[in-house]
Structure 1
Amino acid sequence: MRIGIVCPYSWDVPGGVQFHIRDLAEHLIGLGHQVSVLAPSDDETPLPPYVVSAGRAVPVPYNGSVARLNFGFLSAARVRRWVHEGDFDVLHIHEPATPSLALLACWSAQGPIVATFHTSNPRSRIMIAAYPILQPALEKISARIAVSEYARRTLVEHLGGDAVTIPNGVDVDFFAGAEPKSEWQGGPEGRTIGFIGRIDEPRKGLPVLIKALPRILEEAPGTRLLVAGRGDEEEAVASLPEKMRESVEFLGMVSDEDKARLLRSVDLYVAPNTGGESFGIILVEAMSAGAPVLASDLDAFEQVLDGGAAGQLFPNEQADALATAAVSLLADPERRAELRARGTRHVRRFDWSTVGADILAVYETVADGAASVAPDERIGLRARLGLARD
């Protein structure tokens, strides 16, 4: 199959959508498909051979964060050329409701289009206001995928139609097989807590974790917090008493290999995110690596953690509750082992062997068309995939 995938966000600033697209592309290539990914990127960014640059992106505030998007006349020309030259059997665009390459590709494409919706934002006035502009492009979409029930709900409430829910995928064995790193592991003098995310993006929740840290250090002496991600490290710990700052170790941006090793090494992974999450890929990665997970009780996180069975939840933005749960878990190896075992079993449903097969089934449905399907079956298929009406 010739498959074109459109990434709306800049390839040089890592994020969940970019990682999902990268891993999906490499999974499909591994199965023998021809895949090309179009994405914004800076000129100096090293790109995999399957990625085509659409030029530089500009930062735009979006969904409680800052997204780096690419839009305009020059971008539109590049998209049209890429679509024409690719002659794809299926075009898979991500986040078509954002002012990005995905929307431009929707306008340019003529063949079957699959769209994946990642955003969970139940009160998006911008999306509601933009609907008249988006509608002509969105009507060209052949099938819709939502990465979670909450992303699906956002789609239904703001844009109409429906979608089949297929979660983000993870190479479970990659994380499960990583070698722990001795300097990141806890020892007789204390345990290690891990956090991975952008330091200067408040919704990732590091300020909540930092606020909880004094009590954690007081009740679980010797604990270390390992932080991986980009941002202002000095500002992140400015609220801590100076003597406690040495208990926080900043690792900066880490490679995929070191991220897996970090998750394999820590005694507890904490995800204190405060909102704007439609899935929670880091939770899946942590479970894959066998890390016990403590996470805020966002709806999306609760779903990923099987209602709290595969990881422990605490009330969102409540630093005291986070501290209480963390201290309890750090002192209870049996409870951590239970969470580790449950997470390891649960996470298999997110492996690319399952997720990739589900996405391919959508591709094949829209590529083959419904000509050979009986009328009643065709209606059922189109309804399940959130397709436009015949």
Structure 2
Amino acid sequence: MQKLKAAVVTPGSFFIPSGRSSSVERVVEQMIPRVPEGFDIRIYGLQEPDHPVIGSLDGGIQVYRLPGGARYASGIIRSLKEWKPRIIDVQNRPFLASRIKLAVPDAKVVTSIHSLTYISPPHADHRNAERILQSVDRIVVNSVYLEKELGVRYPSLKNKISVNPLGVNLPDFIPRYNPHSEALRESKLLDRGWQGRRIVMYAGRLLPIKGVHHVLTALPKLIQDVPDVMLLIVGSPFYGSGRRTSYEAHLHDLAEPYLNHVTFIPFVSHPSISYWYHLADIVVVPSAEGEAFGLVNVEAMASAVPVVASDAGGIPEIVEDGVTGILLPQASLDSELAPELIRLLSDEQLRRSLGQAGRLRVAQSFQWKHTAERWHEMMQKLVLQ
């Protein structure tokens, strides 16, 4: 039996495969090679100098690379018309999905929405966003939060939306709290001169919406009650770029009086991020409203590290309050974040319990193989409609 052709179109912002890519490209390169048998899948992505136009990922999935910028969409459409896939999944670019549907009307076109960014101003007003989303055959989102947001904004689309949560590759993350792991961690801490330090970690982009300033605001109280605390801030404003922003400068200003207690680590490529999770006692995710999913939550939990997070967006779908971490109301982060961090830093048994429960939850519900299996099922159903 001939396999069904399926194209997966990335935004064209980052080269694949690349540890320096955004979360959208990472979703594709982690999920698609794990999709069960049944589809002949081709990925479209950005071309870069000194790399072949056609590459491959694990499992033999072909990656077709095209010039970026204004030529990206037209190049993809030409290739799709020639290849004639039955399914086209366009990742996080709904306007491109609509354009492809117009150009390749016989295909089933899906738009996978990773956040509200590209269906909100300045990218799209309400009317245009609704028109674009109406034009495609299916909308896939990564959280129930996004599903509800789209349903409220565009009630006519409710029956078009499916939810497919994201995941991790569990073996990539070393879990805390077993003898071998703890010995390895102590060796890493010794190498860095951080032995005896209790480490609170933030990982992600340095953007106001991510709430990094809340952690630095809590730092004086943390130091007062936990003098050996170290705040580890891993990330940059942009993926793989050293450009500075006024917000990043503000964070450094907040940290200036406490340099013995704060370490900034610039952008870390994805294969290397597990090193830093392994050092953490707590991972803090103080995001503002609009955080659709937050891969950092499942990555921390995969490392058996408890998460202290805001209750923003889709985070409560991942972090179980009092079971795998602590959820705090966004409005009370400035008053409640420090006391909760102090409580956890002072109770190793609680950290262990939350962390181990988080690892188990990820193993059961948030692995890339789960995401890939759901994608496979969704696409098969769509073909039959």
Q: Which bin holds the TM-score, normalised by the shorter protein?
A: 0.7 to 0.9
Within 5 Å, give how 1:132-211 maps onto structure 2: 133-134=131-132, 138-141=134-137, 143-159=138-154, 160-162=156-158, 163-176=161-174, 181=185, 182-184=187-189, 189-199=196-206, 201-211=207-217
1:279-328 residue CA offsets vs partner (Å, 9 max, x unmatched): 12110111111111111121411121135532111232522311111111
3-state SS of 2:140 partner:
strand
1:79 aligned to 2:94? no
Are residues 177 and 336 of structure 1, via their aligned partners in 2, closer, same or farther at CA, if it must alter by over 3 Å? closer
Instruction: Answer whether contact 2:139 2:162 (CA < 8 A) is retained.
Output: yes
Which residue matches 1:4? 7
**Aligned partners of 2:66 and 2:198: how far apart in 1?**
45
Identity %: 21
Instruction: Answer whether contact 2:322 2:354 (CA < 8 A) is retained.
Output: no
Within 5 Å, give how 1:1-390 maps onto structure 2: 1=3, 2-8=5-11, 10-11=13-14, 14-28=21-35, 34-40=40-46, 49=56, 50-57=62-69, 72=70, 74-97=71-94, 99=95, 101-109=96-104, 110-120=106-116, 124=120, 126-131=124-129, 133-134=131-132, 138-141=134-137, 143-159=138-154, 160-162=156-158, 163-176=161-174, 181=185, 182-184=187-189, 189-199=196-206, 201-231=207-237, 232=244, 235-242=250-257, 244-316=258-330, 318-347=333-362, 348-367=364-383, 369-370=384-385
* Offset at residue 221 of structure 1 (A): 0.8
Instruction: Answer whether contact 2:281 2:306 (CA < 8 A) is retained.
Output: yes
* Offset at residue 4 of structure 1 (A): 0.9
3-state SS of 1:269 partner:
strand
**Aligned partners of 1:106 and 1:307: how far apart in 2?**
42
* Offset at residue 26 of structure 1 (A): 2.8
* Offset at residue 361 of structure 1 (A): 0.8
**Aligned partners of 1:342 and 1:335: how far apart in 2?**
11
**Aligned partners of 1:240 and 1:132: how far apart in 2?**
43
**Aligned partners of 1:227 and 1:184: how far apart in 2?**
16
Instruction: Answer whether contact 2:200 2:232 (CA < 8 A) is retained.
Output: yes
* Offset at residue 104 of structure 1 (A): 3.0
**Aligned partners of 1:84 and 1:76: how far apart in 2?**
12
**Aligned partners of 1:252 and 1:75: how far apart in 2?**
30
Instruction: Answer whether contact 2:14 2:21 (CA < 8 A) is retained.
Output: yes
Letter in 1 for 2:335: D
Instruction: Answer whether contact 2:328 2:336 (CA < 8 A) is retained.
Output: yes
**Aligned partners of 2:215 and 2:28: how far apart in 1?**
29
Letter in 2 for 1:38: Y
**Aligned partners of 1:342 and 1:119: how far apart in 2?**
27
3-state SS of 1:274 partner:
coil
The count of corresponding residues between Structure 1 and Structure 2 is 346
The gaps in structure 1 that reach 5 residues or longer are 58-71, 371-390
3-state SS of 1:156 partner:
helix
Letter in 2 for 1:55: P
* Offset at residue 335 of structure 1 (A): 1.0
**Aligned partners of 1:308 and 1:45: how far apart in 2?**
48
3-state SS of 2:255 partner:
coil
Letter in 2 for 1:92: D
Are residues 246 and 105 of structure 1, via their aligned partners in 2, closer, same or farther at CA, if it must alter by over 3 Å? farther
1:145-188 residue CA offsets vs partner (Å, 9 max, x unmatched): 22111111222233432222221122123224697554358976
Letter in 1 for 2:163: T
Instruction: Answer whether contact 1:4 1:86 (CA < 8 A) is retained.
Output: no
295-304 or 174-183, which deviates more: 174-183
1:112-141 residue CA offsets vs partner (Å, 9 max, x unmatched): 2233222247x9464413146425xx3341
Letter in 2 for 1:139: S
**Aligned partners of 1:9 and 1:55: how far apart in 2?**
8
3-state SS of 1:203 partner:
helix
Instruction: Answer whether contact 2:304 2:357 (CA < 8 A) is retained.
Output: no
* Offset at residue 40 of structure 1 (A): 4.5
3-state SS of 1:22 partner:
helix
**Aligned partners of 2:50 and 2:250: how far apart in 1?**
29
**Aligned partners of 2:352 and 2:283: how far apart in 1?**
13
